[in-house]
């Protein structure tokens, strides 16, 4: 079993790779949700949310982030919510919702 610590994700940030850290955090949050370890999702989601909130996002992406944050805080986040957030943010990256994320 491969273990990835929160510190290893923060290492991306220290190397100037904040975008990669945010996407990795979202992926790791999804993995933790799949494993039923929603209590560990919070720290990954905060790093990821901090990055994405600082970007020019569409209203849809901002709403998806707010919904995701609420679900994480309530410990009711599901894999469907993680996938929906990933899809929404990918749409922003591709310019489909009006903004471009690096």
Q: Could you tell me the residue ranges of all domains in the chain? A: 24-93
- What's the token pair of residue 16? 């100037």
User: Rounded distance, CA 29 to CA 34, Å?
Assistant: 9
Share of the chain above pLDDT 90, in %: 13
Taking only the tens place, the pLDDT of each residue in 8-57 is 666 776 787 777 888 888 888 899 899 988 888 888 788 788 888 787 77
Helix (H, G, I), strand (E, B) or coil at 99: coil
Q: Report pLDDT for 7.
A: 57
Distances 26 to 20, 23, 82, 98 between C-alpha atoms, Å: 10, 5, 8, 21
**Greater confidence, 67 or 47?**
67
Pick from 41, 24, 31, 27: nearest CA to 76: 41
Q: What is the mean pLDDT of the chain?
A: 79
**Which residues contact residue 27 at a Cβ distance below 8 angstroms, ignoring those fewer than 6 apart?**
none
């Amino acid at each position: 079993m491969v273990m990835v610590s929160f510190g290893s994700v923060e290492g991306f940030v220290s190397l100037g790779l904040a975008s990669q850290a945010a996407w990795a955090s979202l992926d790791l949050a999804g993995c933790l949700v799949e494993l039923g370890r929603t209590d560990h999702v919070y720290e990954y989601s905060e790093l990821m949310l901090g990055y994405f909130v600082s970007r020019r996002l569409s209203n849809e992406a901002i709403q998806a982030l707010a919904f995701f944050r609420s679900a994480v805080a309530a410990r009711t986040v599901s894999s469907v919510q993680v996938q929906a957030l990933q899809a929404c943010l990918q749409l922003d990256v591709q310019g489909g919702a009006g903004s471009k994320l690096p």
